[in-house]
Amino acid sequence: MPFPAFFYIVVLMNVLGIESSCDECSVAVVADGKNILSNIIATQVEHHAPWNGVVPEIASRLHVEWIDEVTSRALTEAGMPLADIDALAVTSRPGLIGSLLVGLSYAKGLAWSAGKPWVGVDHMMAHLYAPHLEYDIEYPYLGLIVSGGHTILCRVESMEDVTVLGTTIDDACGEAFDKVAKYYNMGYPGGVILDQLAENGDPTAFRFTEPRLHKGNHRYDVSYSGLKTAAINQLNQFRSEGACDSLENIAASFRKAAIDMLIKRVKRAVEDTGINRVVAGGGVSANRYLRKSLTEDESLESYFPSMALCTDNGAMIAALGYHRLMQGERSGLELNAASRVSGFRRSYP
Ligand code: KG4
Ligand code: ZN
């Protein structure tokens, strides 16, 4: 049942956030949209490692087995019973549909049985909101959301007014990291290990050229499929004289090309819009080179989530849920899971 507006202003609001969109089973308790009382992240990494990638069937089964226990741990660590939770928030999109359905159904059951208000949130929006947990960030800003499934550059006037400036025309940035790592057997999870290897490599060993976009694409769009192919099948064409094919060199050169593409788009958008505040989120925002490049650029005011809040987690869901609940938003039992992102408006056709 919704509370009157004054209730939220004077009373601390504890939100339970549930995230199960991919291979992290995560539940958190966040007070007042800022104060993380618990953030349990049960990763399925070792269960997917033998297949070198996320197996959707395994992911949803593990969520079914784990979610109740993870929720209990989140409440215990926060030091409160369910009765002290004021509202619930859950990822309803985008992601693996089977995995999403587990978290969403669980949240619906819990909210209904305990008589609590709840809201379904878009997890890409939650990635964008993650840095708000740690910093007071003014609007407007440019948002850079980079994960395993999405690559979005957007202009954010408020959390209710987000306009997409550019996106990928093929693979997502994180997906390209994962595929290159998989091809070279760098290990699993690919993006994280490639980033580690890159630290000891020569980024000029292979000089990958930026893929050309097509006529219909926007100048803020990116493309990763060509770069991925170049790094996998056409190494010889891009090798600098005398460079060796070590995993470190391949990783460093690929990372530089992949991340420079993002940085270039961000700089372009800063120039066009006059907005120099940049907020990053999503798994790839953990990338060392991306973080270093943007934070060390003194012409920018950039915000990154701390490492634990870059990848999927319940705290960002609870925090965005708090924000949505404060706006008066509520979800009903008819809300369904969806594999696609929502709530982003495109600035061009
Ligand atoms: O946000 P996230 O946890 O899940 C999705 O919403 O997809 O992002 C996972 C993605 C994976 O593709 C992973 O390889 C990538 O983020 N990733 C990284 C790094 N850490 C995670 N990519 C590059 N460098 C990293 N340090
Ligand atoms: Zn994510």
Q: Would 14-128+311-346 and 139-304 be classified into the same CATH topology?
A: yes
Q: Say if residue 60's pLDDT is above 70.
A: yes
The gap between the terminal CA atoms of the chain, to the nearest Å, is 40
Among residues of the chain, what percentage have pLDDT more than 90? 90
Residues in Cβ contact with 322 at an 8 Å cutoff, skipping those fewer than 6 apart = 13, 15, 30, 32, 33, 87, 89
* Alpha carbon distance 22, 148 (integer Å): 10
Helix (H, G, I), strand (E, B) or coil at 320: helix
Atom 14 (ligand 1) nearest CA: 191
* Phi and psi, residue 221, nearest 5°: -70, 160
From the CA of 286, give the closest atom in ligand 1: 26
Of 23, 147, 183, 184, the one to substitute when testing ligand 1's pocket (max ligand atoms within 8 A of C-beta) is: 147
pTM greater than the 0.85 cutoff: yes
pLDDT at site 349: 37
Q: Could you please report the per-residue DSSP string of 196-264?
A: HHHTTS-TTSB-PPPPPPPTTS-TT-B--HHHHHHHHH-HHHHBPTT----HHHHHHHHHHHHHHHHHH
Range with the lowest mean pLDDT among 1-10, 140-149, 172-181, 251-260?
1-10
* Residue boundaries of the structural domains of the chain: 14-128+311-346, 139-304
Question: What residues line ligand 1, using a CB cutoff of 6 Å?
Answer: 22, 127, 147-149, 174-175, 177-178, 189-192, 195, 282-284, 286-287, 311-312
Question: What is the residue whose two structure tokens read 């004054």?
Answer: 6
Among 305, 271, 270, CA closest to 290: 305
What's the CA gap between 300 and 294, in Å, rounded?
A: 7
CATH number, span 14-128+311-346: 3.30.420.40
Q: For residue 2, is pLDDT > 80?
A: no
Rounded distance from Cα 323 to ligand 2 centre (Å): 19
Q: What is the mean pLDDT of residues 52-69?
A: 97
The pLDDT tens digits of the residues spanning 108-165 come to 999 999 999 999 999 999 999 999 999 999 999 999 999 999 999 999 999 999 999 9
For the beta carbon of residue 301, count every other beta carbon within 10 angstroms.
Answer: 16
Query: In the CATH scheme, what architecture does the domain 139-304 have?
Result: 2-Layer Sandwich (3.30)
